[in-house]
Amino acid sequence: MSHVAGRSTLHSDMLKQQSMGMSVPQFHLCRNQNKTSLAVLSLLYYNNSPRMCIRTSNESSNDCHRLQESLLSSASGYRNYRGVLNWCVVMLVLSNARLFLENLLKYGILVDPIQVVSLFIKDPYNMPAACLVIVSNVFIVAALYTERRLSVGCFSERVGLLVHSINLSVTLCFPVTIVLMLKSITPVGGASALGVYTVLFLKLYSYKDVNKWCREMSHAKARSLARSLSCSSIPRSRESGQDYQVSYPGNVTLRDLYYFVFAPTLCYELNFPRSPRIRMSFLLRRLFEMLFFTQLLVGLTQQWMIPIIQSSMKPLEDMDLPMMMERLLRLAVPNHLLWLIFFYWFFHSSLNFIAELLQFGDREFYRDWWNSETITYFWQNWNIPVHKWCLRHFYKPLLKSGVSKWLGQSAVFLASAFFHEYLVSVPLKMLRPWAFMGMMAQLPLAWFVARFLRGNYGNAAVWLSLIIGQPIAVLMYVHDYYVLHYREGSAGGGPE
Give CA–CA dist 274/358, Å, rounded.
Answer: 8
- SS3 label, residue 57: coil
Cα angle value 495/308/187 (rounded, 5°): 45
Per the CB < 8 A criterion, the answer to whether 113 and 295 are in contact is yes
Which amino acid type is present at position 129?
Answer: A
Give CA–CA dist 133/256, Å, rounded.
Answer: 20
B/e letters for 207-218, b = 16+ CB within 10 Å, e = fewer, are bbbbbbbbbbbe
Per the CB < 8 A criterion, the answer to whether 293 and 347 are in contact is no
Helices in 361-454 by DSSP H: which ranges? 375-381, 384-390, 396-400, 405-428, 434-440, 442-452
Q: Which positions ≥6 away from 319 have C-beta within 8 Å?
A: none
Per the CB < 8 A criterion, the answer to whether 172 and 201 are in contact is yes
Which amino acid type is present at position 354?
Answer: I
* Upper half-sphere CA count for residue 478 (Cβ side, 13 Å): 19
**Catalytic annotation present for 420:** yes
The full DSSP string for 191-207 is HHHHHHHHHHHHHHHHH
Which amino acid type is present at position 254?
Answer: L
The full DSSP string for 294-328 is HHHHHHHIIIIIHHHHHHTHHHHHHT-HHHHHHHH
Q: CA of 466: how far to CAs of 370, 385, 470, in Å? A: 11, 20, 6
Catalytic residue among 164, 387, 393, 420: 420
Which amino acid type is present at position 69?
Answer: E
Q: CA of 123: how far to CAs of 119, 126, 135, 185, 429, in Å? A: 11, 5, 19, 9, 19
Give CA–CA dist 277/357, Å, rounded.
Answer: 9
Per the CB < 8 A criterion, the answer to whether 405 and 423 are in contact is no
Please identify every residue annotated as catalytic.
Answer: 420
